[in-house]
Structure 1
Amino acid sequence: MGKDIQEDKGMLQEVDRKLRLLIGAFTGILYEDDDIFMEKMRRKKNLPEEELQKYAHWEWTQGVGLYGIWKLFAASGEKEYLEILTRYYDRQQQVGFPQCNVNTVTPYLTMSYLAEYLQSEVYMKPCREAAEWVMYQMPRTREGGIQHMTSDDVNEQELWDDTLVMTVLFLANMGRILDREDYRNEAQYQFMVHMKYLQDPKSGFWYHGWTFLERNHFAGAFWGRGNCWITIAIPELLSSIPCSEPVERILKEALCNQVDALAECQAESGMWHTLLDDPESYEEASATCGFAYGILRGVHCGLLEEKWLEVAERVLKPVLALISEEGVLGQVSYGTPMGRENREFYKEIPLRPMPYGQALAILFLVEWKKGHT
């Protein structure tokens, strides 16, 4: 028994040490220029350079990263994490906000939490404007789904699983903060319509996307990180706003089905592959952290049975091993557009340190600590 306690204490100390390293590296990665993205924007958009710079550090990659820091602040109350957030948003206020789309809405999620916490109308005003745009102006597909329009592509009549985390969680949170029933209802509807077209009833996994124009799932890929957005999004939505009883039941069962399938395809290492059903595709760290966080969050929220804790626990050692002494999470796949023609596309996505990789590791380790302290 004494040995077990000593091992647990040692593991907690190592988790705390790696968390500090992740946070230390976070700011540098947060403000790192994404040359690939910016070059693509210059090529596709006829915008002056001053306007393009509004997009440089205000995308989904930063948005997910900031959410990890917000969760860390909410759990610890440490002032340094709050300062990371206020410094980022104050800087963007000076640069200006880009045109809203699915990806540029993502940073508003943390901004809305921050505005509420600080009771700051300076932060809340842009959130109000973004929420109204999402609710009433954002392009929709048939059946009223949010079209996955990004900074550089319209993606006409396309639903992507990324959208639920990137945009819909923000709308739900604004519905909570402002007591807007229309926002809350729309958020629930978006989860339902995305589930209708993206969840595979046979496997329990979610396809990366659906096109109403061609009425198919593109390459038919069960992409790892895309699926982890679902594992995260369902517990986050259900713990953020009160959902109708049928919606809550449906989402809970969808999560259970997905986690059951995830347990079946978890690699021997404890990781998951970038294509969940293809063990020849590389093991990918951001999806693995996202799955582990979502599973732990689901258990802690009462959505999942405790038997699934073991699945998340298997992730800890390989993830800690992938966090370098410089604080960078390795084995993270770069931002991934839709694989439209074949599944091999996902295997060729390069590995690169990214803010969302840091954040998903932070989310996982913070949630892991809740069950061990």
Structure 2
Amino acid sequence: MTTNRSLYLSAAETARRVYGAMLQGKTGSWSMDMNGWDWVPGVGVIAIGEYARRSGQAEIMEGLDDWARRNIGKSERLRVINAVAPFAVLPELYAYTGNSVYEMAAARAGQWLTEEAPRTKEGAWEHTVTEDVKFAEQVWADTVFMAVLVLARVAKMTGNRAFAEEAVHQLLLHMRLLQDEATSLMFHGWNCEEGHPMSGARWTRANAWVAAGIPMIAEAMEGLASLPKEIIDRYRELMGATARYQRGDGLWPTVLDRPEFYPETSGSAGIAYGMKRGIHSGWLDAGLAAQADLTLKAVLDLVPEDGIVQGVSGGTPVMDSIEAYNSIPRHPTLYGQGLVLMLLSEYR
């Protein structure tokens, strides 16, 4: 009992430091600037929303409202799959503030996702980014967290069953295309035109986006739509598979089935968060909590006094080879801060 209490107290204090470092940010920095409308600050604000909900601190939601009022004008510049991530907090902010600007912007994002977002020949959302680069006919695991979560939350806000059905459809397509039959792990990407998993990397953060995202999506649509048995079964298989690749120190290597690769903090935190949420949902065996606790202990050691999470790999497209993932440099990022904050928030 004493050990558990100490762990929870350490998590609470570390969460405050991680959150504080996010607020300070670094203007003009791609990886640490909160004042943008793209996937990097998007993961940051999604995590802050989770932290606010779990901590019950009204001032955190007030700060999130302030962020949205300052940045929502940027949401109209460009609509791409990665850039819709920040819209995920607008339904929460609309419920909190009653500000119709948030309601209308979120509804427009839902309409864009269902009617305009580019799709592969299977109907899955094609991965698109703000950079001047094309990923034609490519499906990435990242999209589950960056876009399916958005549509699920907008569906609940609007009561639009068509939005909910599309969210479930996209989730099922992504799971079917990306989940490796041999290992049950997720590939980072899939080329629909050529019918192969590209580099074939079972990248840890790709698995983390799915591990964290699916319980959040299910919760978002509660009372409106349920996930089909196939998705839940696939999720169980995924989480059982990730558990088998955990290192003794509680972390995972940056590619799950390459134990010689460097340990990566953000993906590890996301997978452990998924374990905690999956247990809470009743999908996963409670025994996985011990593995999540082990990850938490490792993560606590990777957050110094300034709250900047260490050991986070930089932005990672689908690489040309599995070996190339081990060369991605590590540096502070808002998505690293965010995934760690989400894990820490589960220990309250």
Identify the TM-score tier after normalising by the shorter chain.
Answer: over 0.9
Letter in 2 for 1:150: V
Could you tell me the percent identity over the aligned residues?
A: 30
Matched residue of 1:210: which SS? Answer: strand
In structure 1, what is the equivalent of residue 113 of structure 2?
A: 134
Amino acid at match of 1:33: G
Which runs of 4 or more aligned residues in structure 1 lie more than 4 Å from their structure 2 counterparts after TM superposition?
35-38, 242-245
Alignment counterpart, residue 302 of structure 1, candidates 274, 282, 303: 282
CA contact (8 A) 2:22 2:32 kept: no
Match of 1:124 among 103, 114, 134: 103
Structure 1 counterpart of 2:21, which letter?
A
Q: Secondary structure at the match of 1:322?
A: coil
Of residues 217-226 and 343-352 in structure 1, the stretch that sits farther from structure 2 once superposed is: 343-352
Structure 2 counterpart SS, 1:305:
coil
Maintained 8 Å contact 2:148/2:170: yes
Q: How does 1:16-165 map to 2 (within 5 A)?
A: 16-29=12-25, 31-34=26-29, 57-93=36-72, 97-152=76-131, 153-165=133-145
Deviation at residue 56 of structure 1 after TM alignment = 6.8
8 Å Cα contact 2:245/2:252 also seen in 1: yes
C-alpha displacement of 1:97: 3.4
Describe the superposition over 1:6-44 as per-residue Cα deviations: whole angstroms up to 9, x where unpaired: 333332222221111111111123x54235899xxxxxx
- Offset at residue 215 of structure 1 (A): 1.7
Mapped contact 2:11–2:347 kept (Cα < 8 A)? no
The SS at the match of 2:329 is coil
Contact 1:296–1:368 (CA under 8 A) maintained in structure 2: no
Query: Could you tell me the TM-score, scaled by structure 1's length?
Result: 0.88
The 3 A distance-change label for structure 1 pair 96 and 110 is closer
Q: CA deviation at 1:98?
A: 2.3
Gaps of 5+ in 1: 39-54
* Structure 1 pair 143–344 and aligned structure 2 pair: CA distance change class (3 A): same
Q: Aligned pair 1:313/2:293, yes or no? A: yes
Alignment of 1:198-277 (within 5 A): 198-242=178-222, 247-277=227-257
Give the alignment partner of residue 330 of structure 2, picking from 334, 343, 351.
351
Amino acid at match of 1:351: R
Q: Secondary structure at the match of 1:74?
A: helix
Give distance in 2, aligned partners of 1:9 and 1:308.
19
1:331 partner SS: coil
CA distance in 2, matches of 1:56, 1:142: 35
Amino acid of the structure 2 residue aligned with 1:282:
Y
Judged with a 3 Å threshold, the aligned counterparts in structure 2 of structure 1 residues 35 and 60 are, in CA distance, closer, same or farther, namely: closer
TM-score (norm 2): 0.94
CA distance in 1, matches of 2:233, 2:321: 30
Change (3 A) 1:79 1:165: same
**Structure 1 residue 297 displacement after superposition:** 0.4
Q: Distance in 2 between matches of 1:176 and 1:95?
A: 24
- Aligned mate of 2:7, from 2, 11, 14: 11
Q: Could you say if the C-alpha distance between residues 353 and 215 of structure 1 is closer, same or farther in structure 2, counting changes exceeding 3 Å?
A: same
Distance 2:3 2:193 in 1: 55
- For structure 2, the 5+ residue unaligned runs are none
Query: Which amino acid in the other structure matches residue 29 of structure 2?
Result: D
1:290 maps to 2:270 = yes
Aligned: 1:169 with 2:146 = no
Matched position secondary structure for 1:276? coil
What letter corresponds to residue 174 of structure 1 in structure 2?
Answer: V
Give distance in 2, aligned partners of 1:167 and 1:287.
Answer: 18
The amino acid of 1:292's aligned partner reads A
Alpha-carbon spacing, 1:317–1:36, altered in 2? closer, same or farther (3 Å): closer
Question: Within 1, Cα distance between the matches of 2:266 and 2:81?
Answer: 20
Contact 1:235 1:303 in 2 (8 A): no
- Given residue 285 of structure 1, which amino acid in structure 2 is its aligned partner? T
Shift of 1:299: 0.4
Deviations, residues 295-327 of structure 1 (Å, cap 9, x unaligned): 000001111121211111111211000001001
Give the Cα separation in 1 of the matches to 2:108 and 2:288.
40
The residue type paired with residue 229 of structure 1 is W
CA distance in 1, matches of 2:72, 2:180: 41
Tell whether 2:174 aligns with 1:194.
yes
After TM superposition, give the deviation of residue 112 of structure 1 in Å: 2.1
Find the aligned partners of 2:347 and 2:102 in 1 and give their Cα distance: 31
Q: Which structure shows the bigger proportion of residues in helix conformation?
A: 1
Tell me the CA shift for residue 252 of structure 1. Answer: 1.4
Equivalent-residue separation in structure 1 for 2:283 and 2:30 (angstroms): 40
Q: Deviation per CA, 1:314-346: give whole Å up to 9, x if none.
A: 11211000001001110011111111x211221
Q: CA separation in 2, counterparts of 1:133 and 1:151? A: 16
Q: What is the CA-CA distance between 1:132 and the residue it aligns to?
A: 0.8
Correspondence for 1:49: none
- C-alpha separation between the residues in 2 aligned to 1:239 and 1:298? 11
